[in-house]
């Protein structure tokens, strides 16, 4: 097995969905096959946008792309994709983070490997990039953000130096990383009410909801998340509300939700608030899954928050 850097451009001819599949041509087949069962880092080149290294994922399988000669698909292991908390630039102080792109004097190489869409990545380079993008103490950083009470709780927690891969697979750590990216993407506003509520210590009350749950093969991509208030999160998870196939209109299970509750909780125009960056907008396939598998099908086994 080997770790890789995979170049991704949103407007590319290759049909990538970074949390689901990576589309690539035959010249990279050997390298990608070597990565099956191992981790990759996604990289967006400077000319395509400002993100640099922006996410990690694990390759589960490689298959020929149906109907397209000479193209292949790397299938991403469900639940492995995770956006970096801090997007990492290719160069720091003028030097690349990848040894293969570095000249003996520390400067960046030109052409060749720099332009390759698939690059093998030594373990030490992988760990360095992940540690810059997903700090060891991310949970403590989040706990210290709002108010003295949270800071006091964080002070007593020693940061355990976990190996990088162990950290990437630990659910509590991933939940914090997901929550931070989703709430940031929506400007800490609820996507269905449009409200930005904060408690007395300044902590945002908005939560991060998975559209397709992780246990149902959903990912921790921002495109599988919605920033929602606590009540709307509860309703979304129980299938009382969803989003129509136009990816904007909020659907309500009217036979289960009183009209006055709808008027109090949802934005007057009944439309979903979108992130400023369209790359973070909910993926239509995730919304479709929620409509077909959750909306209108859940039985409430606990009292509604408005009762």
pLDDT category of residue 153 using cuts at 50, 70 and 90: very low
How confident is the model over 62-82, as pLDDT tens digits? 999 999 999 999 999 999 999
pLDDT higher than 70, residue 60? yes
Q: Are residues 10 and 128 in the same domain?
A: yes
| Number of structural domains the chain divides into | 2
Is residue 159 a part of any domain in this protein? no
Distance CA 230, CA 205 (A): 7
Answer yes or no: do 124 and 198 share one domain: no
Of 133, 160, 178, the residue at which a domain comes to its end is: 133
Task: Output the domain CATH number for residue 51.
Answer: 3.10.590
Predicted pLDDT of residue 107: 85
Is 280 among the domain residues? yes
- What is residue 115's predicted lDDT score, i.e. its pLDDT? 75
> Which pLDDT score is estimated for 11?
80
- Residue 162 banded pLDDT, cuts 50, 70, 90: low
Judge contact between 175 and 138, C-beta under 8 A.
Answer: no
Looking at the structure, tell me whether residues 93 and 189 fall in a common domain.
Answer: no
**Taking residues 83-90, what's their average pLDDT?**
93
State the Cα–Cα distance between residues 164 and 41, nearest whole angstrom: 13
67 and 124 inside one domain: yes
Domain membership of residue 91 (yes or no) is yes
Q: Are residues 111 and 196 in the same domain?
A: no
Query: Residue 123: in which H helix or E strand, if any?
Result: helix 123-133
- Say if 118 falls within a structural domain: yes
Strands 95-96 vs 250-252: parallel, antiparallel or unpaired: unpaired
What confidence score (pLDDT) does residue 289 get? 97
Both 176 and 281 in a single domain? yes
Same domain, 125 and 199: no
Spatial CB neighbours of 215, under 8 Å, sequence gap ≥ 6: none
d(CA 233, CA 107): 48
**Among 106, 133, 160, residue at a domain's last position:** 133
What three-state secondary structure class fits 85?
strand
Residue 138 forms part of a structural domain: no
In a domain, 179, yes or no: yes
CA quadruple 213, 214, 219, 225: dihedral sign: positive
80 CB contacts (<8 Å, ≥6 apart)? 39, 56, 57, 58, 60, 168, 169, 219
Strand 225-228 to 207-210 pairing: antiparallel
Is residue 288 domain-shared with residue 185, that is, in the same domain? Answer: yes
Residue 262 pLDDT more than 70?
A: yes
Q: What domain range includes position 191?
A: 170-293
Residues 181 and 255 in one domain: yes
Same domain, 190 and 109: no
Q: pLDDT for 119-129, tens place per residue? A: 999 999 999 99
Domain end: 72, 107, 133, which one?
A: 133
pTM confidence score: 0.88
Assigned domain for 162 exists = no
Q: Per the domain annotation, does 142 fall within a domain? A: no
DSSP H or E stretch at residue 138: helix 138-144
């Amino acid at each position: 097995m080997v770790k890789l850097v995979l170049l991704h451009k949103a407007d590319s001819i290759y049909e990538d969905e970074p949390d689901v599949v990576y589309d690539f041509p035959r010249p990279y087949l050997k390298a990608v096959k070597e990565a099956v069962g191992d981790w990759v880092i996604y990289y967006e080149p400077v000319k395509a946008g400002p993100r640099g290294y922006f996410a990690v994922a694990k390759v589960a399988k490689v298959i020929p792309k149906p109907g397209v000669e000479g193209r292949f698909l790397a299938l991403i292991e469900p639940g492995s994709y995770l956006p970096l908390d801090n997007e990492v630039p290719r160069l720091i102080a003028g030097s690349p983070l990848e040894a293969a792109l570095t000249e003996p004097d520390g400067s960046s190489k030109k052409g060749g490997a720099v332009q390759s869409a698939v690059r093998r990545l030594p373990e030490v380079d992988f760990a360095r990039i992940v540690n810059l993008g997903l700090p060891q103490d991310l949970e403590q950083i989040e706990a210290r953000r709002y108010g003295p009470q949270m800071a006091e709780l964080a002070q007593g927690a020693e940061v355990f130096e976990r190996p990088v891969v162990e950290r990437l697979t630990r659910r509590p750590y991933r939940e914090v990383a997901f929550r931070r990216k989703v709430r940031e993407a929506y400007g800490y506003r609820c996507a269905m009410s449009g409200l930005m509520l904060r408690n007395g210590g300044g902590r945002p009350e908005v939560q991060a909801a998975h559209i397709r749950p992780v246990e149902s093969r959903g990912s921790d991509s921002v495109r599988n998340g919605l920033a929602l208030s606590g009540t709307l999160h509860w309703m979304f998870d129980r299938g009382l509300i969803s989003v129509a196939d136009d990816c904007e209109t909020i659907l309500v299970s009217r036979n289960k939700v009183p009209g006055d509750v709808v008027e109090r909780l949802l934005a007057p125009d009944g439309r979903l608030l979108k992130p400023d960056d369209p790359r973070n907008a909910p993926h239509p396939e995730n919304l479709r899954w929620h409509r077909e598998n959750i909306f209108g099908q859940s039985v409430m086994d606990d009292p509604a928050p408005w009762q």
